[in-house]
Structures are given as structure tokens and as C-alpha cells.
Amino acid sequence: MQALHRLMEEDTALRVHRDEQTKEFVVSGTGQLHVEVAVERLKRKFGVEVELKAPKVPYKETIKGTAKAQGKHKKQTGGHGQYGDCWLELSPLPRGKGFEFEDDISGGVIPRNFIPAVEKGVREVLTEGIIAGYPIVDVKARLYFGSYHDVDSSEMSFKIAGRLAFKAAYEHCRPCLLEPITTITVIVPDDYMGDVIGDLNSRRGKVLGAETRGSGQQVIRAHVPMSEVLRYAPDLRSMTSGRGDFELEFSHYEEVPGHIAEKIIKEAQAARAERHA
């Protein structure tokens, strides 16, 4: 990291940041060649060898339906036992709203001091994900019923109960995967416009429009899933004989098509099983 920071001081177009979700260090520059030159300089000037690979795609999980479920944690051991019982209703929120927790407890069925523990248990599951291990977003959890024991109930018991209730309800809420969509702006000579648009369509892209720029150039804008353009630079270079240029920026999240989501979920579950093996 020290070597990378030294390079960034010398080259202001070079960027390095750590992706909080994927836990990867992402190096970005003005193009593939720029990044490759930076890696070469790392080796030559600082004796640091790094391995480059395409960044992981930061998928997210969400739900499309509503469901209710009970989470009950009951354990009897020597001395005090553990008891926590809560009912949650999960429902989808509009895209980009994140997470909302509603305390709808009345009549003291769960003491006030245990309600934050339920929310804490739910929030822990949000970061872990359920169907593929990706963070869960755009969900509302309503705590509306439960029960407690005068002696055996504790914050830990209700935290575990909250986790159990969330997981139980989540399975019945039609969970799905969301993928990041980028806005790509491609600048190419007129001769290559058809090839570039055809290629973007093959990458599940939606062309937003094209306009003519002076000196026989076309500017094409499209929305394309991030997973489809992680290695776009060399492809565009070969498609346009090195005469094309492009810019990428994050736009929004959209649901992953079913057949692709199945594959991503299987890969994520296999990776998770391998880690725990």
C-alpha cells in the first residue's frame, strides 16, 4: 500500500480504494494500459509483485414479496435458561431505500429494553446475506408480536430470535439478486458504430442513444451490467483497431435475470461451502 500511495502521488490519474463489500483493493486509471504500467512500475521501483484480476461484482440481495414468521430461541441449561420469541413481517421497500425497522409492539409482550436486540440480530443478517451471501437491501422489518420469560429472557436471546425470524420470513418473500448497472459512454469512428452497438446488446446492454460528434465520430451511451464490462477495454480495442474510447460510471441496481441469478447463487454457495470445509 505504501508503494501504491507513492505512485498515486506521482500520478494523479491513478486511483486505489478498498471496496467495503468485496474487501478487495481496486486499482483504476485512464485505461487498461495505464493500470498495467502502474503494476510494472511497482515491480521495477519497489520490488513489489502484484497479481491483477477483474474486480468482484458487488451484487446485493432483496425481496419481492411480503411474509410473516416467528423466531423463537429457547434453551435450558443448568441455572438460567435462554428465552426469546418474536414475530416479524418483512416487506419490500423502493429501490435504494436500504433498510427500515418498525417497532409495532403493544401491550408489553416484549419489554422495551429487548426490542433493540431484535433489530441488532436482524441487521447482522443483512450484512451476511442468505441466498448467496451478498448484503440484503431495500427491506422493511416490522416487529409486531412476541413473548418473554421473566427470568430466562435476555438481550442475546432476543438477538438470536430476531435472526431466526428474519431468516424464516425471508425464504417466503421471493428473494432475488440485484446487480450493479453502469452507464457506458463509447466514442468510436462512424465505421464501427454498428459493431459496437451489436456488441453492447450482446452484453445485455440497453442503448440510450447515439449522437454524432465532429470529425466522423459517434458517441454511444448505454446501460450495461457491470459484470459484462469488467474486461471491456481490450475487447473495444480489438473491435475498433484501437480507435475506440469509453468511460464507465455506476448508475443503479437492477434485478438479475433468473437463469443468470441461478448460476451466481450456485457459485456463491460452492465458494461458501469451500470456505467452511
Query: For residue 266, what pLDDT band results from cuts at 50, 70 and 90?
Result: very high
State which CATH number among 3.30.70.240, 3.30.360.10, 3.50.50.60, 1.10.3720.10 fits the domain covering 178-277.
3.30.70.240
Phi, psi (5° rounding) for residue 33?
A: -60, -40
**CATH topology classification for 61-173:** Ribosomal Protein S5; domain 2 (3.30.230)
> Are 188 and 218 a contacting pair, CB within 8 Å?
yes
Start and end residues for every CATH 3.30.230.10 domain found in the chain: 61-173
Reply yes or no on whether the pLDDT at 203 is more than 90.
yes
Domain at 1-56, CATH class:
alpha beta
The one-character DSSP state at 61 is: E
Reply yes or no on whether the pLDDT at 76 is more than 90.
no
Q: What is the percent of the chain with per-residue pLDDT over 90, rounded to a whole number? A: 83
Strand 139-147 vs strand 175-189: parallel, antiparallel, or unpaired? unpaired
Average the pLDDT over 20-32 and give the result: 86
Start and end residues for every CATH 3.30.70.240 domain found in the chain: 178-277
Residue at 165: amino acid letter: A
Instruction: Tell which residue, 59, 1, 10, has the closest CA to residue 34.
Output: 10
Strand 206-213 vs strand 139-147: parallel, antiparallel, or unpaired? unpaired
Least confident of 7-11, 73-77, 120-124, 262-266: 73-77
Reply yes or no on whether the pLDDT at 86 is more than 90.
yes
Per-residue pLDDT of 90-119, as tens digits, reads 999 999 999 999 999 999 999 999 999 999
Query: For residue 52, what pLDDT band results from cuts at 50, 70 and 90?
Result: confident
- The residue ranking higher by pLDDT, 23 or 195, is 195
Average the pLDDT over 81-87 and give the result: 96
Average the pLDDT over 243-272 and give the result: 93
What pLDDT is recorded for position 103?
Answer: 97
Cα R_g (the chain), whole angstroms? 25
What pLDDT is recorded for position 29?
Answer: 87
Start and end residues for every CATH 3.30.70.870 domain found in the chain: 1-56
Q: Which residues of 82-112 are buried (b: 16+ CB within 10 A; e: fewer)?
A: bbbbbbbbbbbeeeeeebebeeebeeeebee
Query: For residue 23, what pLDDT band results from cuts at 50, 70 and 90?
Result: confident
Please state the pTM of the whole predicted model.
Answer: 0.89
Per-residue pLDDT of 136-180, as tens digits, reads 999 999 999 999 999 999 999 999 999 999 999 999 999 999 999
